[in-house]
Amino acid sequence: MMAMDTIVKLIFIIAFSVVLLTCSYQRSEKDPYLAARQLMVKEDIQRRGIDDQRVLQAMLKVERHLFVPDSYRPMAYADRPLPIGEGQTISQPYIVALMTYHLHLTPEDRVLEIGTGSGYQAAVLAELTKEVYSLEIIEQLAGTAQERLRALGYKNVWVRCGDGFYGWPEHAPYDAIMVTCATPIIPERLVEQLGEGGRMILPLGDKPYHQALTLVTKRQGKIERQPLTDVVFVPMTGELGKGKK
């Protein structure tokens, strides 16, 4: 016969297992994409070298399917860009994680994002930093992204419709700047708004389907460039398209 303390332990283990299964079921019912998001983080991000736990947790927390059109939700956690309307796309998850990873963000950082799009990247940044200021040149996208981020509870993100070429000088200097659209040059105005020791990451290049993801660091007023990998982004428009620097 089993001792009474053994029986009590078995009952406790069974009860605890039931609680875990119930909680897991409730989470999956509330978020049917949880398993897909976990797989995305493990296979498409962590396995490819992104080992910053804060970045991984942010990618796991932000629900990408809420940032894409309903018709694309079944593909929300595939490692690929998806259309979001107005001729724009949401970047593939790995690139979002990679760009975020290389900025080495801290909880006290103030970040400027150029190219809000759907607001997905801004949400990831908001999980990691104190303040995020995001510029989107397409009015419809800016308005929709602002509403979406507010509805999701992001109170540390501000979205404005404007030309990213000029940045957002009212809140400068920034600890980090992320440019999510391709540019043939590093805009001088963005460099001016980057604080000392600040980092900027951007797709640099003038070819439509080929840019170099580049990390820029500002030291004593000068910039240092570090090419990271080849990428493909939609081009920055506005004043940059007129050949200004």
Contact in structure between 68 and 89 (CB atoms under 8 Å):
no
List Cα–Cα distances, 102 to 31, 55, 107, 158, 228, in angstroms.
29, 10, 15, 22, 9
Which of 71, 91, 118, 134 is flagged as catalytic? Answer: 91
Answer whether 196's CB lies under 8 Å from 142's CB. no
Distance CA(235)–CA(115), nearest Å, equals 10
**The two structure tokens encoding residue 60:** 């796991």
**Cβ atoms 120, 90 nearer than 8 A:** yes
Residues 134, 113: contact at Cβ < 8 Å?
yes
What is the rounded end-to-end Cα distance, in angstroms, of the chain? 84
The pair phi, psi for residue 43, each rounded to 5°, is -85, -40
Cite the beta strand spans of the chain per DSSP E: 82-85, 88-90, 110-114, 131-136, 157-161, 174-179, 194-207, 210-219, 222-231
The residue type of 92 is: Q
H or E element that contains 140: helix 139-151
Catalytic residue list contains 91: yes
Task: Supply the residues annotated as catalytic.
Answer: 91
